[in-house]
C-alpha cells in the first residue's frame, strides 16, 4: 500500500491485514483503506500514541490487526503475525473505570489475566452495545518489564461481512498508574494506622484529691496508668519547678 501525503510525496507501508485482499464488501474495503491511510499519517507525525485497527470475525471467532503501529511491534519486539497472540498472553490484568454516581465517584473493576479468558465474550458484547472501548491493561513486556497502556477505541459493525472493527489508540500510562497505586497504598496505610490509634473522649471520673481515675470496672488507677491503657501515650517522669521548690524548701526547713 502507498500512502500519499502530497502531490510529490509517496511513502510505502506494507499492508499485513486480510480484508483488502479478501472476499469482503467494497464498503468495508473502502473503510479499511481510508482508516489505514489516516492512521499511517498519524504514525508518520511521530505521535507517541499507538494507533491500531483490529478486526473480529463473528462466525470464525478470530481476531487480527488490519493496522499495527510500529510502536506496538517495538514494544513487544515481535512480527505483525504474532502481535495479537503476544499481546493477549502478556496481559496481567484488565481494568475498567466506571462512574458510580455522585456519591460513589469512579469505580475501578479489575479483571485478572487468567479470568479475562473466561469473560472475553461478555466484554465483547458490552462493547458492541456501547460502541466504545475504554480500558487499562497491565502488561508484562519483554524482559519482564511491567508497563501500563490505556486503550481507547470505537467499534464499527459490518453486518454483511460479519466483521467487527475496533479503531483506536493505545497510550502508555505507566507513570500515571504507578502514581495512582502509590497513592492508594498511602491511603490504605493511613487507614490502617488510624484504626490502631486509641483516643480518650467523654467524661473521665477523676478524684479531686489524689487525682486517680476510676476505670469502667470501678478501680481507681494512677493517671499515667489509665492513660497508658487507653491510648498509645508513654510517660517519662520528672519534676516541675513548683514541686522542686516545695521539695527543697521542706529539706531546708529546720
pLDDT in tens, the chain (254 residues): 544 445 545 556 788 899 999 999 999 999 999 999 999 888 888 888 899 999 998 788 888 999 999 888 988 888 888 888 889 889 999 988 877 666 666 778 888 888 887 787 787 788 878 888 889 999 998 877 899 999 999 999 999 999 999 999 999 999 999 998 899 899 998 888 777 666 667 788 888 888 888 888 888 988 888 888 777 777 777 788 877 777 676 665 55
> Which string of DSSP letters, residue by residue, matches 87-149?
HHHHEEEEEEEEE-HHHH-EEEEEEEHHHHHHHHHHHHHHHHHH-EEEEEEEEEEGGGEEEEE
Closest of 208, 205, 229, 199 to residue 218, by C-alpha: 205
Distance CA 31, CA 37 (A): 10
**DSSP-derived 3-state class of residue 73:** helix
Q: What is the dihedral of CA 217, 222, 228, 234, to 10 degrees?
A: 180
Answer CATH for 2-174 from 3.30.930.10, 3.40.1390.10, 3.30.2130.10, 3.30.450.20: 3.30.450.20
Closest of 17, 38, 129, 146 to residue 84, by C-alpha: 17
C-alpha cell at position 236: 517519662
- The domain locations on the chain are 2-174, 213-252
Residues 6+ apart with CB under 8 A from 105: 99
Cβ count near 54 (within 10 Å)? 21
Amino acid at each position: 500500500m502507498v500512502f500519499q501525503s502530497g502531490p510529490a510525496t509517496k511513502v510505502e507501508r506494507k499492508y499485513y491485514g486480510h480484508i483488502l485482499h479478501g472476499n469482503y464488501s467494497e464498503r468495508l474495503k473502502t473503510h479499511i483503506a481510508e482508516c489505514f491511510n489516516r492512521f499511517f499519517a498519524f504514525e508518520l507525525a511521530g505521535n507517541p500514541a499507538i494507533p491500531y485497527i483490529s478486526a473480529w470475525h463473528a462466525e470464525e471467532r478470530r481476531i487480527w490487526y488490519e493496522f499495527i503501529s510500529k510502536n506496538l511491534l517495538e514494544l513487544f519486539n515481535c512480527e505483525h503475525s504474532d502481535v495479537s497472540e503476544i499481546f493477549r498472553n502478556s496481559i496481567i490484568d484488565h481494568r475498567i473505570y466506571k462512574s458510580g454516581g455522585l456519591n460513589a465517584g469512579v469505580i475501578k473493576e479489575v479483571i485478572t489475566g487468567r479470568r479475562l479468558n473466561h469473560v472475553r465474550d461478555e466484554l465483547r458484547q458490552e462493547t458492541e452495545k456501547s460502541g466504545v472501548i475504554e480500558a487499562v491493561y497491565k502488561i508484562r513486556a519483554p524482559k519482564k518489564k511491567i508497563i501500563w497502556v490505556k486503550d481507547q477505541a470505537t467499534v464499527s459493525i459490518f453486518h454483511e461481512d460479519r466483521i467487527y472493527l475496533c479503531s483506536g489508540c493505545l497510550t502508555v500510562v505507566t507513570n500515571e498508574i504507578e502514581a495512582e497505586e502509590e497513592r492508594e497504598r498511602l491511603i490504605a496505610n493511613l487507614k490502617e494506622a488510624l484504626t490502631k490509634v486509641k483516643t480518650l473522649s467523654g467524661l473521665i471520673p477523676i478524684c479531686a484529691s489524689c487525682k486517680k481515675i476510676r476505670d469502667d470496672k470501678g478501680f481507681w488507677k494512677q493517671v499515667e496508668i489509665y492513660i497508658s491503657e487507653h491510648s498509645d501515650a508513654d510517660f517519662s517522669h520528672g519534676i516541675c519547678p513548683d514541686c522542686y521548690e516545695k521539695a527543697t524548701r521542706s529539706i531546708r526547713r529546720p
